[in-house]
Amino acid sequence: MRRGGVAPTSDMNDRILVPYDGSPPSATALEFALETFPDADVTALHVIQIPEGYWEAFEGPEVRLPTTEKAREYAAEILEGARELAAERDREIDTEIRTGQPEDRIVECAEKEGYDVIVMGSHGREGISRVLLGSVAENVVRRSPTPVVVARDPDDAGLE
């Protein structure tokens, strides 16, 4: 894995937040965080994305509950994968589930919970694909007062 010049320092490696959705880029980010910040407390955050206008489509909370519970169960399974990935490296991590727009919740969590660094994966989109599809990582980088490291798989980035 390519390091990209990031070196841990004593003031920035206490608490690391890794947004984790179970995708290969999020696994790359988690691996990077565990290897680059060996003494840090790492938390994998999964955000259950709720589309705008979703809640208004239902008459009452009793209709929403099963959908939310199923999404939380699925999120817990995804985060179990993050725990297993960490265990393979003899590390333990914390996990957290939030709901909402991913970029909003990631920035909010990092700021309110006092994380020192956010380490995110990137799908490596370029050009028009990135413009059309948007990028959670790009939005977090632009909006977060917390330092953000974007870890990309060297194969996806065209690097050797």
User: Hey, where are the domains in the chain?
Assistant: 15-151
Identify residue 85 by its one-letter amino acid code: L
98 in Cβ contact with 20 (< 8 Å): no
Per-residue model confidence as pLDDT tens for the chain (160 residues): 444 445 555 455 589 999 999 999 999 999 999 999 999 999 999 999 876 666 566 666 555 555 678 899 999 999 999 999 999 999 999 999 999 999 999 999 999 999 999 999 987 555 554 444 348 988 999 999 999 999 987 665 554 4
Q: Supply the CATH classification number for the domain 15-151.
A: 3.40.50.620
| pTM of structure | 0.80
Instruction: Name the DSSP letter for residue 55.
Output: G
* Selection from 44, 54, 52 nearest residue 106 by Cα: 44
